[in-house]
Amino acid sequence: MISLNRPYLPDQKKVTAYLDRIYSTAHLTNNGPLLRELQERLEDYLGVENLLLVSSGTAALQVAYQALNLTGNTITTPYTFVATASSQKWMGLSPLFSDIDEKTFNLCPDSAHRMMTESVSALVPTHLYGNACYVEDFESLAERHQVKVVYDAAHAFGVKYKGKSLLSWGDASVLSLHATKLFHTVEGGAVVFKSSDTYEQAKDIINFGISVSDGSIGHVGINAKMSEIHAATGLAMLDDINHVIERRVAIYEQYKDALSGCVEFQEMHENATLNGAYAPLLFDSGETRARVQAHLMKNNVGVRHYFSPSLNQLACLCDGHEYDLPVAENISDRVLCIPLYYDLQQKEVLQVIDQVRRAV
Ligand SMILES: *Cc1c(COP(=O)(O)O)cnc(C)c1O
């Protein structure tokens, strides 16, 4: 069986060396030395400031909403992982789903514009499969309506937009560092804040609201801290990240060369770099997608129909709203993700290509 995904395992000796350091100090969590080292190295590697490490990508989203004082409605994409929207509901927000662009699969700035009302406090788009959103359009929309922008950048580790980190756009950009993501700390997440004041507040928010500097309690907080053991895994993996991204992008491009004409690919932003986070294929219909999916599973190729369903079809996220979002519903019916990870062997890539061609 060729699996759909396989987490990257950093060098075991390196991880052990970090664990030895943890054992010698007994500093296990609470802003420890490894966490601070990882935070600095990530800011340096990504080219960002105000990066806060937390316990998961979902917690990172929640902390970003809380730190930015979001209230009422948000406008978000229905075509994403469920946590983009469920994190908003969990924080007492009421997400409104707006349709996506059929080429880029990202939230469409024009549809978002049409849903704008007084009660909206933020836009929450996702850089889906690592594809940069139309960030300039969202920025001007947000300025015109005086709302915040929080990017779910869970898929966008390492992506550069016009030469700068994509994560520097928006009031906050959120990474997931979960084991299945391109760069990971087993479980973990991060927020990159535009404002250093908001960043300082968020440091307290992830520590029960207790001020890191003077111990006073000025916020309602939560425990969203990352442990030293998680930070150790990240530090060991960060040494290898350029190889990981290069290999993943090479596989993605090989798929694209071999399968264009047979299936469609997401249109990637021309001003952004690729990171090889996912390999989504788009078929001509939902029936073709289901047929190919069954064929690949039968022939030992791990695939996943995601993201599906379009989130506007989940009653628990919709507050009784009825949505008609034809593009998101159509794309989510026709899409399938195929294996893409660092350890995927060249002969496996060829096998996947061959099986997709046969099935289509
Ligand atoms: C993985 C993911 C998350 C959640 O991150 P966790 O670290 O698993 O909590 C949120 N949004 C998107 C788009 C994701 O893919």
- Nearest ligand 1 atom to alpha carbon 180: 1
- Nearest ligand 1 atom to alpha carbon 84: 11
Atom 6 in ligand 1: residue holding the nearest Cα: 57
Mean pLDDT (whole number) for 97-115: 98
b/e burial code for range 62-71 (CB count within 10 A of at least 16 → b): bbbbbbbebe
pLDDT digits (tens, 9 = 90+) for 3-60: 999 999 999 999 999 999 999 999 999 999 999 999 999 999 999 999 999 999 999 9
Query: How much distance in Å is there from the Cα of 64 to the middle of ligand 1?
Result: 14
Query: How much distance in Å is there from the Cα of 58 to the middle of ligand 1?
Result: 6
Instruction: Give residue 167's Cα distance to chain centre.
Output: 11
- Nearest ligand 1 atom to alpha carbon 61: 10
Query: How much distance in Å is there from the Cα of 154 to the middle of ligand 1?
Result: 6
Dihedral of alpha carbons 339, 178, 316, 102, sign: negative
Query: How much distance in Å is there from the Cα of 262 to the middle of ligand 1?
Result: 30
Instruction: Give residue 124's Cα distance to chain centre.
Output: 12
Query: How much distance in Å is there from the Cα of 215 to the middle of ligand 1?
Result: 31
pLDDT digits (tens, 9 = 90+) for 220-278: 999 999 999 999 999 999 999 999 999 999 999 999 999 999 999 999 999 999 999 99
Atom 10 in ligand 1: residue holding the nearest Cα: 83
Give the pocket of ligand 1 (CB within 6 Å): 56-58, 80-81, 83-84, 126, 152, 154-155, 176, 178, 189
Q: Is the pLDDT of residue 212 over 90?
A: no
pLDDT digits (tens, 9 = 90+) for 277-330: 999 999 999 999 999 999 999 999 999 999 999 999 999 999 999 999 999 999
**Residue 219 pLDDT class (50, 70, 90 cuts):** confident
**Whats the size of the chain, residue-wise?**
360
pLDDT digits (tens, 9 = 90+) for 258-267: 999 999 999 9
- Nearest ligand 1 atom to alpha carbon 189: 7
Q: Is the pLDDT of residue 357 over 90?
A: yes
Query: How much distance in Å is there from the Cα of 84 to the middle of ligand 1?
Result: 7
Mean pLDDT (whole number) for 86-92: 98
Query: How much distance in Å is there from the Cα of 288 to the middle of ligand 1?
Result: 28
- Nearest ligand 1 atom to alpha carbon 60: 9
Radius of gyration, alpha carbons of the chain? 20
pLDDT digits (tens, 9 = 90+) for 159-187: 999 999 999 999 999 999 999 999 999 99
Query: How much distance in Å is there from the Cα of 179 to the middle of ligand 1?
Result: 10
**Residue 196 pLDDT class (50, 70, 90 cuts):** very high
Atom 5 in ligand 1: residue holding the nearest Cα: 57
- Nearest ligand 1 atom to alpha carbon 155: 15
DSSP at 99: P
Query: How much distance in Å is there from the Cα of 76 to the middle of ligand 1?
Result: 15
Out of 176, 184, 306, mutate this one to test ligand 1's pocket (max ligand atoms within 8 Å of CB): namely: 176
pLDDT for 176 equals 98
Percentage of residues in the chain having pLDDT higher than 70: 100
pLDDT for 325 equals 98
Q: Is the pLDDT of residue 79 over 90?
A: yes
- Nearest ligand 1 atom to alpha carbon 58: 9
